[in-house]
Amino acid sequence: MNIKDRFNKYDRSGMLENILSLPDHIREAWKMSGDFILPRPSGPNPLVICGMGGSAIGAFLIRDLIKRECDFPVQVERGYLLPPHVGSDATVICISYSGNTEEVLKLFGDAAERGCNTGVITSGGELAGEAAKRNVSMMKVREGLPPRAAIGLLFTTLLHLMVNWGVYEITGEELNLLTERIELVIKKLTPESNARDNPAFELSKKLCDKMPVIYAGDGLLEGISYRWKCQFNENSKIAAYSNIFPELVHNEVMGWECSEEIMKNLFFIFLTDSDDHPGVRKRMDAAYSMLAKSTGEAVMIGSSWYGNDSPGRLERLLSMLALGDFISLYLAVGRGVDPTPVGKIEKIKKFLKIGEL
């Protein structure tokens, strides 16, 4: 069966369409999010972004985009409780695409109670109701997407806020041009592009029956490596794992002394970026050479993989996002699974409500 037939057969809920919509979602959210206004944190007061799963990814990506320049701490909370140090001067943004995620509803209540400068990004649900009741700043994005496919909407809302705060610089016009370049990147990854020149399709074939282990430095691509892992889990329905340099050379490398049997089932993907710290890069190179002597396979992918001369940070971030999304998609249809349904995630949410699996 050729790849297009595979999409017709297995991508029954249209994840390809959703992933192709990334540039449209970016433009759409940019237009709508100018009114999402919140006080800029200053000094030691943090920006706290709360969200779970797919709704937390935009938070990680924005953190990675600004973390080397930003003069206030940025933290992402994925749990039920805000840390005690988050006080009324903190700015807290609660993101839940569905608006019904228990942890985020709790964090929202907690932030509102503490008198934090609180904002909400959602498509509706209970969170939208609570935000309206408490009259907090809210960005309502369009409904009907799997939360992880709303990344363009959620991320761009945060991006616009960072631009309004003067933390990141990009004009609407520049963003439009950038989305056009992302469209070109996506074109190289679609099922219509020549299969042999399509890096997403090529890598997905190598990942068949393997467990991807995705590594990145602690810079621009930290959240991206986690996104790739989650997309392998949710779209491709396979076990995957991610970790970060330099920390992993202080512990994880010892795990490569496990049995050859286990190692040969692992496929290591190193994501590199031109802004990686030189120390990080040296450690990545050393670790990569070590792996070459093992039974585990490894590839290194640079964030300028598509050949543009010197793409900016945002462009590198978004093109790596698109690449990972497409690999997970090809792997899904290659394995004969529908990328969209997330049965086990929903089952556990239901269990929490009704008490049985």
What CA–CA distance (Å, rounded) separates 119 from 213? 35
Of the two residues 93 and 163, which places its CB atom closer to ligand F6R in the complex? 93
Q: How far is the CB of 341 from ligand F6R (least distance, A)?
A: 10
**Site for ligand F6R contains 148 (CB under 6 A):** yes
Contacting ligand F6R (CB under 6 A), which of 18, 21, 45, 55? Answer: 55
- Least Å distance, CB 317 to ligand F6R, is 19
Judged by CB under 6 A, which of 18, 91, 101, 156 binds ligand F6R?
Answer: 101
From the candidates 103, 130, 222, 234, give the one annotated as an active-site residue. Answer: 234
Among 41, 46, 53, 219, binds ligand F6R (CB under 6 A): 53
CA 345 to chain centre: 17
Question: Could you tell me which stretch among 35-43, 76-84, 97-105, 302-310 binds ligand F6R (CB under 6 A)?
Answer: 97-105
Could you give the string, one character per residue 323-342, with x where binding to ligand F6R holds by CB under 6 A and - elsewhere?
-------------------x
- Single residue of 16, 22, 52, 76 touching ligand F6R by CB under 6 A: 52
Q: How far is the CB of 58 from ligand F6R (least distance, A)?
A: 10
250 is catalytic: yes
Nearest by Cα to 318 from 30, 14, 7: 30
- For tokens 């802004």, name the residue: 275
| Shortest distance (Å) from residue 185 CB to ligand F6R | 22
Shortest reach from residue 77's CB to ligand F6R, in Å: 13
Please report the DSSP string for 13-77 in residue order: T-HHHHHHTHHHHHHHHHHHGGG---PPP-TTPPEEEE--THHHHHHHHHHHHHTTT-SS-EEEE
Bridge pairing between strands 117-122 and 91-96: parallel
Has 234 been annotated as catalytic? yes
| R_g over Cα of the chain | 20
> What DSSP string runs through 19-36?
HHTHHHHHHHHHHHGGG-
Interface segment toward ligand F6R; rule CB under 6 A; list 47-55, 66-74, 182-190, 242-250: 47-55
Cis geometry, peptide bond prior to residue 246 (ω within 30 degrees of 0): yes
Neighbours of 170 (CB within 10 A): 16
Residues marked as catalytic: 234, 250, 349
